[in-house]
Structure 1
């Protein structure tokens, strides 16, 4: 019997496990849970006899991969997968997957929710601004970007997008104005919603020169990764542009500098919360289990992210 290990330092909601369990059982597989573990040694021991592994933000390092002698597939329940050592997985013949789209609406709702919160000055009793008529730019038009655009339409915003990997026709078909360059996106839009992955090309790519192109009162909304921000240059921009606002789903390493110098011009969630809804929690977990079963039963590698 194949064993699927769900290893989550921050566990899935009980409702998610309650839906994952019958999916696994019906397929004739064993489900094992390692929740709220406090030491990497616990993960290394638990993964030894697992044929499949489901994680959330847990790091699947080379050490974990080497300890998992039976492992054939690991699935990150979520869109980002920079917590997986893809090279180590490939070397051991392990398929690595993510579950794209399962938490996209949750992240998109957070984007607009944080925008409203900041536009209304954190509901501090003073007059704020409205989103209607403002221009929002979507930097990377993937699953989350699609939902951000759909919700922004309801607010009456003008929507633009830049994504060199998505055909302009697809963006236009959604009623969005595609732009040719990232510089044009930032210089056009009052808000930019950031959805690029963190990789060698994108890390620290959101820098002073790019952000300084934004109009007066510009705001950057980051629900991607903190690594894509050039934090030293962001601090310089915040100092040079008293009108600029930074909103993020994960606090930067320079959080203390923001707290000391830019009160009222930033908002950071206490932890990464984009996928922290009951619905997204269930969707991603169940999708991960079904992808594992599909892989073992029919060789389906649709969402494979390593070579």
Structure 2
């Protein structure tokens, strides 16, 4: 019998697990849950006879893939998949998928919430500002950014974007696409980062780009810390006391922020962009349906290591 392992240090909500289990059972699959595990050995043992693996932020490295002797597919329930060794999975003939779009609204609402929090001076009792009438710059235009655009329009913001890969999508929605990242940062009151932590995007938020930010601008990062050149961000914030930085993932230089930039930053205790009941359910169900589609029909629509 085909076995699906749902391995999550941070478990899915019970309602999500129930729906995921039913999808598997209807397909004639066996489901095994590995939740809140604290030792990697538990995952290595559980994955041994699994044909499919669903994870959240759990690390699926070469050792895990080697242990999964029967693995045919790994699905990361979420958009980012840097926790999975996609290259080695490809060598092993294992399909890796993500579930793009399922967490998008949750992350987008957080991005807007962080922007409001920052522009209102972190609710410290002083007079802040409003988002209406301001320019929002979207650094990237994937699923999350499109939802941020939708919400921002409702708040009365002017939205602009820099993207190399989704220009047609952006222009079809009436968005102005800037000619460069530097131009986007120069015209935006709030910049929201929405690019993956790979390739050209690594440390793309550098001094060369940051130096163009408008006076009093807010930089929002709900992507990954790796897309920011943290050393240069700290240098920039030292030189520009008017800039605020907010994120749902603390940088490696958090101690320096605490020492030097009090009142100008905020980091959530852990990465929480997708931490809503709705996103949890959507991503889990999508991951399970994709496994059934792949194993039964060979549907590899969302494969990320082809």
Quote the residue 1:151 is aligned against. 151
CA distance, structure 2, for counterparts of residue 98 and residue 171 of structure 1: 23
Q: What is the TM-score of this pair, normalised by structure 2?
A: 0.98
1:109 to partner: Cα distance: 0.2
- Give the distance between the partners of 1:152 and 1:202, measured in 2 at CA: 24
Q: Deviations over 1:128-187 (max 9, x none)?
A: 00001110111111100100000000110010011111134x212223211121111111
Q: Kindly report the root-mean-square deviation, in angstroms, between the aligned alpha carbons of the 2 structures.
A: 0.8
Using the size of structure 1 for normalisation, the TM-score is: 0.98
1:10 corresponds in structure 2 to 10
Rounded Cα–Cα distance in structure 1 between residues aligned with 2:41 and 2:217: 46
Q: What is the Cα deviation at residue 238 of structure 1?
A: 0.7
Q: Distance in 2 between matches of 1:177 and 1:245?
A: 25
Cα separation, 1, equivalents of 2:174 and 2:137: 13
Instruction: Please name the residue that 1:50 is paired with.
Output: 50
Q: CA deviation at 1:123?
A: 1.4
- In structure 2, the gaps of 5 or more residues are none
Report the alpha carbon displacement of residue 124 of structure 1 after superposing the two structures with TM: 1.6
Residue 25 of structure 1: aligned partner: 25
- The answer as to whether partners of 2:118 and 2:218 remain within 8 angstroms in 1 is no
- The alpha-carbon deviation at position 204 of structure 1 amounts to 1.4
Aligned-partner Cα distance in 1 for 2:111–2:33: 32
Which stretches in structure 1 are left out of the alignment for 5+ residues? none
Which deviations, in whole Å up to 9, do the C-alpha atoms of 1:39-94 show, x marking residues without a partner?
Answer: 11110000000000000000100000001000000000000000110111001100
CA distance in 2, matches of 1:190, 1:209: 18
Secondary structure, counterpart of 1:33 in structure 2: strand
1:1-307 matches, cutoff 5 A: 1-168=1-168, 170-307=169-306
Total equivalences in the alignment: 306
Aligned equivalents of 2:103 and 2:199: distance in 1? 24
Give per-residue Cα distances to partners, 1:239-298, cap 9 Å, x unaligned: 000000101110000011101111110011110000000000000000000000000110
CA–CA distance in structure 2, aligned partners of residues 186 and 35 of structure 1: 42
- Structure 2 distance, partners of 1:98, 1:274, is 16
Secondary structure of 1:201's partner? helix
Q: Aligned equivalents of 2:20 and 2:58: distance in 1?
A: 18
| Counterpart Cα distance in 2 of 1:100 and 1:84 | 15
Q: Structure 1 stretches (4+) deviating beyond 4 angstroms? A: none
8 Å contact from structure 2 (residues 4, 29) kept in 1: yes
CA distance in 2, matches of 1:116, 1:305: 34
In 1, are the aligned partners of 2:218 and 2:243 still within 8 Å (CA)?
Answer: yes
- 1:48 aligned counterpart, secondary structure: helix
Partner Cα distance (1:221, 1:207) in 2:
14
Tell me how far apart the structure 1 counterparts of residues 223 and 263 of structure 2 sit (CA, whole Å). 22
In structure 2, what is the Cα distance between the partners aligned to 1:306 and 1:21? 26
Bigger Cα displacement from structure 2, 263-272 vs 199-208 = 199-208
CA distance in 2, matches of 1:278, 1:103: 10
